[in-house]
Amino acid sequence: MSSSSTISLASHALESASGDYRLAEFIREQAAAVQVVIQARKRLSGGAIQENWLLDLLIEGGPWAGSRRWVLRSDALSALPASLDREQEFAVLQVVYQAGVKVPRPLWLCRDSRVNGRVFFLMEYVPGIAAGRLLSAGAGPQGQARLAAQLGANLARLHQVRPPCATLDFLPMPDSSPALATIKAYRRYLDTLADAYPVLEWGLRWCELQVPPSSGVCLLHRDYRTGNYLASEQGLEAVLDWEFTGWGDPCEDLGWFTARCWRFTRPDLEAGGIALLEDFLRGYHEVSALRIERSQLHYWQVMATLRWAVIALQQGQRHLCGEEPSLELALTARLLPELELDILNLTGAEAP
């Protein structure tokens, strides 16, 4: 090994140790501890938009004394325009945790980028399986009824958070019906692109003509699906990834969860690829007075497929423009033809 390589490795090790010291000091102050030792730091899988790091900590003194496993969540190198920043996401987590929604317990927010390079927050680590393909592949012929009912009830608790909410005043309110506001947002994005996407334009026009009456405005997760929650043998453990949260029609979340594009290996199981739709809706109706019928979900499944197609385009642009070269982003963009076919099938059109 050359002397320059040795110097570079030593410099990196020194920088890493310095970063761990600053982070440990931040945690020590917040936890009112005598000393905090970071025993291990590991990057967790997933997180194309945000980074999640698992911290194994030894805390001496104070109310948090003992061995702790916490997660540090910060921005990735770039973010989607629609995503919240970490300070906003932390505020959302605080609100929904207080509302009884199953989420990792939020701990502390750090706005000082000198501590870890970027704004971040800490939350408790929750064990469980998140991989969508594993969860859907493990479902029996009738699916996992208990897990689906728990997911439905948990979503209903989220939807009980209604505006106004001073803590979440940074979230914009739809200026018209939530459905029409969403259509306008997608259309504005497509208008910025050099290429035309006629199937997506068709889908947007179909949704514009078929727009249903609003079911009211509540807090939405906007990415509530298999793959974004943790499950164990006991059932639902926690819902993750709140960076797309906003105000909207509750049917939007239900349509997203039940859309074909999020059923992974089990397209026959409408409830997220893990269970029958009736099991999911039963759990939702146990908590919510809002009665959602199967027929109402079709419209919002079209909207969900359109949204995923728009996100796939955005991810592809991040890769192609050199903003964040990534095989994962490039592969996400390659989903577009399948999503376009789903849109045509859902809207009764014929594929060319």
Report pLDDT digits (tens) over 159-194: 999 999 999 999 999 877 889 988 998 999 999 988
Q: How high is the pLDDT of residue 9? A: 46
**Cβ contact 227:145 at 8 Å:** no
pLDDT of 325 over the 90 cut: no
Q: How high is the pLDDT of residue 49? A: 67
User: What pLDDT band is residue 79 in, cutting at 50, 70 and 90?
Assistant: low
Domains and CATH numbers, the chain: 12-124 (3.30.200.20), 132-346 (3.90.1200.10)
Q: What percent of the chain has pLDDT over 70?
A: 90
Q: How high is the pLDDT of residue 202? A: 96
Bridge partners (DSSP) of residue 219 are 247
User: What pLDDT band is residue 327 in, cutting at 50, 70 and 90?
Assistant: confident
Q: Where are the alpha helices (DSSP H) in the chain?
A: 3-30, 86-98, 113-116, 132-137, 145-159, 178-191, 198-209, 250-258, 277-287, 294-320, 327-333, 336-346
Average pLDDT over residues 194-214: 94
pLDDT of 206 over the 60 cut: yes
> Which tens digits make up the pLDDT trace of 4-54?
555 454 444 444 566 799 999 999 999 999 999 999 999 987 655 688 999
Q: What percent of the chain has pLDDT over 90?
A: 72
Q: How high is the pLDDT of residue 78? A: 54
> Which tens digits make up the pLDDT trace of 270-279?
999 999 999 9
pLDDT of 58 over the 90 cut: yes
Q: How high is the pLDDT of residue 329? A: 74
User: What pLDDT band is residue 300 in, cutting at 50, 70 and 90?
Assistant: very high
Q: How high is the pLDDT of residue 308? A: 94
> Which tens digits make up the pLDDT trace of 250-265?
999 999 999 999 999 9
Q: Which long-range contacts (CB under 8 A, 24 or more apart) does 104-109 make?
A: 104/71, 104/238, 104/240, 107/30, 107/70, 108/26, 108/27, 108/30
pLDDT of 311 over the 50 cut: yes
What's the number of CA atoms in the CB half-sphere (13 Å) around residue 223?
16
More confident residue, 326 or 351: 326
Q: How high is the pLDDT of residue 337? A: 92
Q: How high is the pLDDT of residue 139? A: 84
Q: How high is the pLDDT of residue 10? A: 45
